[in-house]
Copies of this chain bind each other. A is one copy, B any other.
């Protein structure tokens, strides 16, 4: 996709750096492109649900982050992105030491972006999908919603 700002990468990176929850979970962003974000997640005990698998809430949070940053890669500088709604479908239990996530803008608009994402692990050469999401991301003009970090 064609980015809407020449400084899209710096602006996106600023937003990622301010995200405390991504670092608390240990989500590592490995590829940033306009409209497409890839990330990796190492399994750890704090991410377990009651069966010892990756918690569905972590799964949905990761989906939200890669989709949300995909949206942030496709806005003008200063614009903000907020999740309007998101649906996650859970295909398989998350039983692995390492997970891969990908989020992308499926249709970029003026008021909102339709985004999608998926999270999966590798079983030998096979890709096992844990979850897929579809998300509506609102694109908000600078200054409409205040940012705790802004002066």
Interface residues of A (CB under 8 A from B): 14-16, 18-21, 24, 45-53, 55-58, 60-62, 64-65, 68, 80, 82-91, 93, 106-107, 111-112, 114, 129, 132, 134, 136, 138, 145-149
A91→B107 contact, CB < 8 A: yes
User: Which residues of the partner chain B approach A52 to less than 8 Å between Cβ atoms?
Assistant: 18, 147-149
B64→A84 contact, CB < 8 A: no
Offer 15 A-B interface pairs, CB within 8 angstroms, sorted by A.
A14-B50, A15-B50, A18-B48, A19-B50, A19-B55, A21-B58, A51-B80, A51-B147, A53-B148, A56-B64, A57-B62, A84-B84, A85-B89, A85-B134, A132-B134
CB-based nearest B residue for A16 = B50
Among B19, B48, B82, which residue has its beta carbon within 8 angstroms of that of A90?
B82
* Complex Cα spacing A91 to B24, Å: 25
**For the complex formed by this chain, how many copies does it contain in all?**
4
User: Which residues of the partner chain B approach A146 to less than 8 Å between Cβ atoms?
Assistant: 51
User: Which residues of the partner chain B approach A90 to less than 8 Å between Cβ atoms?
Assistant: 82-85
Among B20, B49, B106, which residue has its beta carbon within 8 angstroms of that of A47?
B20
* Additional pairs, 16, CB under 8 Å, beyond known A21-B57, A56-B61: A18-B48, A18-B52, A24-B46, A50-B149, A51-B80, A51-B148, A56-B68, A56-B82, A61-B61, A84-B112, A85-B85, A87-B134, A89-B136, A91-B107, A111-B111, A111-B138
